[in-house]
A and B are shown apart, each in its own frame.
Chain A
Amino acid sequence: QKEVEQNSGPLSVPEGAIASLNCTYSDRVSQSFFWYRQYSGKSPELIMSIYSNGDKEDGRFTAQLNKASQYVSLLIRDSQPSDSATYLCAVNKGGSYIPTFGRGTSLIVHP
């Protein structure tokens, strides 16, 4: 089992819809969780971090963490074509400098 798993997609949603991106992780001692956005040919850009169970909102983005079920998700409300990118989930074990990245989910928002 991979340590951090994401569906590779592509996930296709219409403009204005809610896009839901999911990530599961295997290590129960994981403590920190991050979402990055990566446009084609560009480097990853941090969108959100979440450390506690529950929801964290930032503009159109909401990160949701459920440690008991070992998943973290990213919701994008009112999706725009400019949100079309690959979204990477990253997870840090407790005491580690180094996050483990998932391979990313490709999101396509069509007009």
Chain B
Amino acid sequence: DVKVTQSSRYLVKRTGEKVFLECVQDMDHENMFWYRQDPGLGLRLIYFSYDVKMKEKGDIPEGYSVSREKKERFSLILESASTNQTSMYLCASSLAGVSREQYFGPGTRLTVT
């Protein structure tokens, strides 16, 4: 079975802090994704990566950056956390190529106060 893990299930940070969210997958998937999910807004793509050190902006990249130094690990960074970044953050991975199924991690519920 595909296993995608995220570093924290719940996280509380203060406004202005730098926040790191880690995602690791163990199935040698090439593609990795970061989403946020908010009530009424559905899943929104922040960034994705199709290879090590490669990244592409999604629909809402502002205020976020990513890092992919190893194939299995994709990190999301909030440079200076703000209250409007309070959300559920979901990492997903998929095999190389297009139109492949995504497998999600358990999610991180981030609260910024």
Contacts and interface: CB of A to CB of B under 8 A. Distances in A.
A45 B92 CA distance: 11
Interface string B1-20: 00000000000000000000
A97 B98 contact: yes
Contacts, number: 51
B101 A96 contact: no
Contacts of A99: 102
Interface stretch (B42-50, B64-72, B79-87): B42-50
A44 B100 CA distance: 15
A78 to B, nearest CB: 25
B45 A34 contact: no
A70 interface: no
Given A97-B48, A97-B50, A98-B33, A32 B99 contact: yes
Contacts of B45: 98
Contact of A98 (B40, B48, B103): B48
24 contacts: A34-B102, A43-B90, A43-B104, A43-B105, A44-B90, A46-B101, A46-B102, A46-B103, A88-B42, A90-B102, A92-B99, A94-B98, A95-B98, A96-B99, A97-B31, A97-B50, A97-B94, A97-B100, A98-B33, A98-B45, A98-B48, A98-B58, A101-B43, A103-B40
Given A43-B90, A44-B90, A103-B40, 18 more contacts: A31-B99, A32-B100, A43-B104, A43-B106, A43-B107, A44-B43, A45-B104, A46-B101, A49-B101, A51-B99, A88-B43, A90-B102, A94-B98, A95-B98, A97-B31, A97-B94, A98-B48, A103-B41
Interface of B: 31, 33, 40-43, 45, 48, 50, 58, 90, 94, 98-107
